[in-house]
Amino acid sequence: MREELFTYDNLAVAVKADAADEIKTAYCTLGWRLEDEYGDDSYGDIIHMDFVRPHFIRGKDRLQLLQVRYEVALNFIARAHRRVGACAAAVAALLIIVGLSLAGFGAYCIVSAPSPVFVGGGIALAVAGAAFFAIAAYAGRTLLARDRARCASITAILSENISAILSEAAHITGVQVSADESSGAAQ
Amino acid sequence: MNIENRTLKRQRNSYLPKSPYDDIVRIKTERKGMGKLKGMLILFVALLQLCVLATLHTLVAVAFQSYLIISVVLDVFTCLYILGSSKNGRSKAVWIMLVLLLFPVGFLIYFLSDENIFFRGSRRRYAAVLRSSQGLVSGCECGALPPVTAQACSYLKNVTGYVPYKNTRSKYFPSGAQAFDDMIARCAEAEKFIFIEYFTVAEGVLFERMLEVLKDRAAAGVDVRIIYDDMGSSGRISHELKKQARAAGIKIYAFNRLVPLYKIGMNYRDHRKITVVDGVTAYTGGINIADEYVNEKRMYGYWKDNAVRVDGDAAQGFVLMFLRQWEFVTKRPFDYAPFLNYHDSVKKCPEREESGQGVFLPFAAGLEYRDPVVRDMYANVISHANEKLYIMTPYFVPDETITDLLASKARSGVDVRIVLPGVPDKKYVYLISLDNADKLTKSGVKVYTMSDAFVHTKSVLTENCAVIGSANFDLRSFFQQYENALYTDDKSAMEGLALDFEATFPECIQRQYMRARSGVLRSLLTALLQIFAPMM
């Protein structure tokens, strides 16, 4: 029988390079030991890490659940950060398109006006277009601020969760991790 | 323990592009929809055949108007036949709707899917297996039993022939990892035989570990037999590995091999989870032999599962269960006696002295029985609960009997709690499960979803008893699959399961009734999916 099958568990992860050190520390807290670390052949920002952990380890079930929660929280924060501004950009772009259309149509009316009524209408449309630009700027700023606030609160909550997860893991495995290290990857 | 924070050489190339992946950390064993391709292809080919047949039939019907009239008459008679059949109410309603909607080919599709016609051969073969193996195990004289246990015992004895046992010790495992560690260690001690029957047997670290032990035992003369379901293990176990196992002396068979034909038998799968060692030790639960069950592979977050080990007389029930399935699969009758009597010839059975006073009632369910054994057992357990009723299941698509019982129990003041996954494996079933569970919250049932986890445990716990096994709370497990479980009122097993529930509740989010908040589209989709719930 191959004894190594019953001695160690293996874990292979691909992580973003800028968070690699913090993630490495976190996995060590979860009882894993780094065996190998190497870059990706295709992407510059990816680091591959191979870990091992004794197959029979105290509190294994709990550690597995904590590990999943750590990974979910980490990836959720990344997703929340990426989404900041997406909604604002979409709404602003839509409003700007409407504004541009109105302004363009207004300009066309002024230039090719057969009567003063058309000139007046063209000016009104151009003003409305400009107003849409202003609304786009305001909406974009407001939505961006809202997204930022939301992202900040998500990050704060999940960073706290990550700290709690890692301190519980540290309690089980006996590996200590500093608060900065534990939440560093999440920022 | 210190962190070994070695800084190894990172071969970072600045000229390489950024990765398109959003996630900061990705587990490399995180794969979804594994091995589904073969099953999907076969299903597609089978449905294609059905479509061709239906089209040809329609063409004939259009060409000959008198035949069209005959089709209408046949559709009406089919609806009457369905109404008079022993199907559950929901299935009847769905089939009648389909027959009428699919006019003029409705009756044809129904009869091609009728298990009473196209599954008759298998039923007959199973009946012969049951007849020849009747009365081989005797069980125990249980004396005066609590009403729920007495009712369960007599029901199972009359319907399935399975009997209750005492002189048994149990051990509960709240995770697949713990169960398999124990199981592999126990298999390594096997002297006479190891029987393994699982819905999913998949290549990976876990199977490699098991195979090492099984090869070793087979080489030592131990009779090792494996049954796996061909759909559950579809694409996940290679011919090479099976050859390797056979070469090592392990007998391995697939249950109900997948074939690209429209056959109703393809729908009936072996969902059982059994390991028996020497007729003395048996394991059952929600687990399968695949890496995700021990969290070696990431599929849908953390994989929550459970299992129970029984040592002693109750293992005989599992031996019988396996041998019956083995005879059905191999189509070769054989003598069960050497396997059933081996237990009695074991000189040292320390468990007998240490066993508790509880009754153990292993049972199997499936198409071989006319009654929906799983549904009836759950109904019996639920109806006798007076204080608490805890259920953990990955899918919650029960029939009206169970739904009404749960609602009435909750209204009567029983603490009814249902734990469902927080992460779904099949989104369409999850939608229905949540919808069904949410409706029960109005009656006072507490519904929980375990965060970041896929709950695959299938267990029921009341103040009287526990049921641990392979059967989900869904219509497939109730009516269409081969299932097995262990009913017990043994304190040790019940305490283990109770502790598991108590440890799981804090990891869950309690759901509130949210129908008003679920959008129109979701409500429509759920309603549409509910139509096909009996087939899921």
User: CB distance B26–A15 less than 8 Å?
Assistant: yes
| CA B440, B445, B451, B455 torsion-angle sign | negative
User: CB distance A12–B27 less than 8 Å?
Assistant: yes
Residue segments in chain A with a per-residue pLDDT below the cut of 70: 1-5, 177-187
The C-alpha atoms of residue B297 and residue B301 are separated, in whole angstroms, by 9
Q: What percent of chain B has pLDDT over 70?
A: 90
The pLDDT-based confidence of B35 (bands split at 50, 70, 90) is: low
Helix extents (H) in B144-282: 147-159, 176-187, 205-219, 239-247
Chain A residues with CB inside 8 Å of B451's CB? 69
Closest CA in chain A for residue B23: A75
Q: What is the pLDDT of residue B58?
A: 77
pLDDT tens digits, A121-141: 889 998 999 999 999 999 999
CATH class, B373-535 region: alpha beta
For residue B2, pLDDT over 50 is answered with no
Both structure tokens of A149:
């606030």
The C-alpha atoms of residue B109 and residue A48 are separated, in whole angstroms, by 53
Both structure tokens of A73:
């929280």
pLDDT tens digits, B395-440: 999 988 999 999 999 999 999 999 999 999 888 899 999 999 999 9
The pLDDT-based confidence of B517 (bands split at 50, 70, 90) is: low
pLDDT tens digits, B148-168: 999 999 999 999 999 999 889
The C-alpha atoms of residue B260 and residue B279 are separated, in whole angstroms, by 37
Q: What is the pLDDT of residue B350?
A: 46
Please state the length of chain A. Answer: 187
| Amino acid identity, position A119 | V
Chain B residues with CB inside 8 Å of A176's CB? 3
Closest CA in chain B for residue A14: B26
DSSP state letter for B175: S
- The beta-carbon neighbor of B24 closest among A16, A24, A40 is A16
Cα dist from B92 to A6, A83, B250, B403, B532, whole Å:
51, 48, 44, 18, 12
Q: What is the pLDDT of residue A172?
A: 93
Higher pLDDT, B34 or B313: B313
User: CB distance B5–A5 less than 8 Å?
Assistant: no
User: CB distance B13–A44 less than 8 Å?
Assistant: yes
Q: Are B475 and B536 in contact (CB under 8 A)?
A: yes
The C-alpha atoms of residue B302 and residue B451 are separated, in whole angstroms, by 9
Higher pLDDT, B389 or B514: B389
Q: How far is B358 from chain A (nearest CA, A)?
A: 28
The C-alpha atoms of residue B500 and residue B306 are separated, in whole angstroms, by 9
For residue B473, pLDDT over 70 is answered with yes
Q: Mean pLDDT across the stretch B197-206? A: 93
User: CB distance A69–B451 less than 8 Å?
Assistant: yes
Chain A residues with CB inside 8 Å of B307's CB? none
Closest CA in chain A for residue B298: A68
User: CB distance A19–B25 less than 8 Å?
Assistant: yes
- The beta-carbon neighbor of B1 closest among A56, A64, A173 is A173
Helix axes A86-111, A60-83, angle to 10 degrees: 10
Q: How far is B208 from chain A (nearest CA, A)?
A: 8
The C-alpha atoms of residue B340 and residue B323 are separated, in whole angstroms, by 10
* Residue indicated by tokens 């005879």: B327
How many CB pairs (< 8 A) connect A and B? 136
User: CB distance B25–A43 less than 8 Å?
Assistant: no
pLDDT tens digits, B39-77: 777 778 878 887 888 788 778 777 777 777 888 888 899
Domains of chain B by residue range? 34-113, 121-135+171-355, 373-535
The distance of Cα B235 from the centroid of its chain, to the nearest Å, equals 19
| Amino acid identity, position B292 | E
3-state SS, residue B362: strand
DSSP state letter for B482: B
Same fold, B121-135+171-355 and B373-535: yes
**Of the candidates B372, B197, B160, the residue with the CA atom closest to the CA atom of residue B285:** B197
Best A1, A3, A4, A5 residue to mutate vs chain B (most B CBs within 10 Å):
A5
Element (H, E) at A178: none
Cis preceding linkage at B104, omega within 30: yes
Helix extents (H) in B286-357: 315-330, 337-345, 351-354
- The beta-carbon neighbor of B5 closest among A5, A24, A44 is A24
Q: What is the pLDDT of residue B515?
A: 55
Q: What is the pLDDT of residue A187?
A: 41
The C-alpha atoms of residue A175 and residue B134 are separated, in whole angstroms, by 58
Q: What is the pLDDT of residue B514?
A: 58
Q: Are A136 and A99 in contact (CB under 8 A)?
A: yes
Kindly report the number of other CB atoms within 10 A of residue A119's CB atom.
15
Q: What is the pLDDT of residue B114?
A: 81
- Arithmetic mean of pLDDT over chain B: 86
The C-alpha atoms of residue A185 and residue A13 are separated, in whole angstroms, by 15
For residue B11, pLDDT over 90 is answered with no
Q: What is the pLDDT of residue B113?
A: 82
Q: How far is B109 from chain A (nearest CA, A)?
A: 45
The partner residues of A34 in beta bridges, in order of sequence, read A51
- The beta-carbon neighbor of A15 closest among B14, B25, B212 is B25
CATH class, B121-135+171-355 region: alpha beta
Q: What is the pLDDT of residue B342?
A: 62
The C-alpha atoms of residue B418 and residue B342 are separated, in whole angstroms, by 40
Q: What is the pLDDT of residue B456?
A: 96
SS percent in chain B: helix, strand, coil, step 5: 45, 20, 35
Nearby residues of B267 by Cβ (< 8 Å), 6 or more positions away: B480
Higher pLDDT, B422 or B9: B422
Higher pLDDT, B323 or B58: B323
Higher pLDDT, B499 or B13: B499
Q: What is the pLDDT of residue A27?
A: 94
Q: Mean pLDDT across the stretch B174-186? A: 95
Q: Is A105 exposed, middle or buried (0-12, 13-18, 19+ CB in 10 A)?
A: middle
The C-alpha atoms of residue B503 and residue B392 are separated, in whole angstroms, by 13
Q: What is the pLDDT of residue B376?
A: 95
